[in-house]
Chain A
């Protein structure tokens, strides 16, 4: 069996990759969606193209590009950074689109009402539109987060010692090929459940307040 501390480290590594790349996406997704919904057509078109490129390349390819491609004598990317960066790049594209869906769901009358009250653009976004869009985005963002948790296993391809990496190593060294992967599967499920539960509770709570 895998020693418990090794297993613990693997779980921590999976969580670090998932949370870090999600945060990168959640933060960089904001400027991206603002550009994507810009007043200027050129900016919108360019941003959409960028998002399509970011999303169009599979996660494992992004991770390889960052690890083998960008890493040189000048820039040194260790496997963990490359994995987080690769997944983060894709996350910001996906989350920007999820944000956009949320923003579009906010009725135009909300902006007008805020304008009529004298709110400026920043106030309208931060006080009126974004909080309403947030609620709409929450379930999709959580679903994306769970997907990302599973995609974090791709970090094993460049040697990050997370759950899938440990499972592969164990399967190769021991005689039993199936048990390590069953354990890995159970661990991924166990990690995704609190996320799904949290999202559902929060969604229900917000829904009770807001919806008809």
Chain B
């Protein structure tokens, strides 16, 4: 489903991604862990080209992006439709009601008619447990509610892959639970997911594979139980100890 080959990205002298390669199967849930600055978020943001990698190849579904060649607008649009994204800071549109947040891109980007978009939006709001908030504005909602709506908004584009960039990092632990519950349900439904997270429990329980990144590269990956409980790499051991000791 996703194939990344030798992806490189640097800002000036600072190398953020140092030739990263990874294959992700359809329906697989991959948790990406690692210290800040390891390149996890950058890798995720490169997958839908919010960041432009310097070189390498990204394949998502049928869409292939070869860098550093110029990316055609068509390819960019297809790629972003294929991959939905959820941000750490939710980024709901504050000037639109919850319902409009979920339906606007369906109408504007997918060309659905207003009635179909409305119906699909309500289904998705139902799914994330917030159908009763359809008429509210984002500022009136808690962070956890906002993030669930952001998930519904991304799902409304019928993506084949969902990318999560630290979806619960900005939330109180309790509020994060609802978001994690929605993500669990999504994982169980067979969605291909790439989740950058510090939630070790989520990685342990829900993911099919844990990928540990440090210094712009993948240093260890594999079965969650194995990577999280008996990591082979000393860097991973140190990182996990720090996370668990907190």
Knowing A117-B80, A118-B80, A211-B139, the reply to whether A128 touches B85 (Cβ < 8 A) is no
Indicate with 1 or 0, residue by residue over A125-157, a CB within 8 angstroms of chain B CB atoms.
001100110010000000000000000000000
Q: Does B3 contact A (CB under 8 A)?
A: no
Q: Does B104 contact A (CB under 8 A)?
A: yes
Give the distance in Å from the alpha carbon of A107 to the alpha carbon of B92 in the complex: 11
Contact A212–B80 (Cβ < 8 Å): no
A109 cross-chain contacts in B, Cβ below 8 A: 87, 89, 91
A–B complex contacts, Cβ < 8 Å, 19 sampled: A107-B91, A109-B87, A110-B91, A112-B87, A113-B85, A113-B91, A115-B80, A116-B48, A116-B84, A116-B85, A116-B154, A117-B109, A118-B77, A119-B109, A123-B109, A132-B94, A209-B137, A210-B95, A210-B139
Q: Does B81 contact A (CB under 8 A)?
A: yes
B109 cross-chain contacts in A, Cβ below 8 A: 117-119, 123
Give the distance in Å from the alpha carbon of A109 to the alpha carbon of B93 in the complex: 10
Contact of A112 among B50, B105, B157 (CB under 8 A): B50
A209 cross-chain contacts in B, Cβ below 8 A: 95, 137, 139
B157 cross-chain contacts in A, Cβ below 8 A: 117-118
Chain B interface residues (CB < 8 Å from chain A): 48, 50, 73, 77, 80-81, 83-85, 87, 89, 91-95, 104-105, 108-110, 137, 139, 150, 153-154, 157
Interface range, A side:
20 to 34
Contact B91–A135 (Cβ < 8 Å): no
Give the distance in Å from the alpha carbon of A116 to the alpha carbon of B150 in the complex: 12
Knowing A119-B109, A120-B77, the reply to whether A113 touches B137 (Cβ < 8 A) is no
Contact B104–A127 (Cβ < 8 Å): yes
Of B80, B83, B94, most buried by chain A (CB within 10 Å of CB) is: B94
Q: Which 9 A-B pairs have the closest CB atoms?
A: A113-B91, A116-B85, A109-B91, A117-B105, A118-B109, A118-B80, A212-B139, A118-B81, A210-B94
| Residue of B whose beta carbon sits closest to that of A208 | B137
B84 cross-chain contacts in A, Cβ below 8 A: 116
B95 cross-chain contacts in A, Cβ below 8 A: 131-132, 135, 209-210
B162 to chain A, nearest CB (A): 11
Contact B73–A112 (Cβ < 8 Å): no
Of B84, B92, B104, B108, most buried by chain A (CB within 10 Å of CB) is: B108
Give the distance in Å from the alpha carbon of A110 to the alpha carbon of B139 in the complex: 14
| Residue of B whose beta carbon sits closest to that of A117 | B105
Contact A115–B81 (Cβ < 8 Å): no
Knowing A116-B80, A211-B139, A212-B139, the reply to whether A110 touches B93 (Cβ < 8 A) is yes
Of B50, B77, B105, B153, most buried by chain A (CB within 10 Å of CB) is: B105
B81 cross-chain contacts in A, Cβ below 8 A: 118
Q: In chain A between 168 and 212, which residues have their CB closer than 8 angstroms to a CB of chain B?
A: 209-212
Give the distance in Å from the alpha carbon of A120 to the alpha carbon of B105 in the complex: 11
B108 cross-chain contacts in A, Cβ below 8 A: 119, 123, 127
Give the distance in Å from the alpha carbon of A116 to the alpha carbon of B76 in the complex: 10
| Residue of A whose beta carbon sits closest to that of B153 | A117
Known: A107-B91, A116-B48. 5 other contacts (CB 8 A): A116-B84, A117-B153, A118-B109, A132-B95, A212-B139
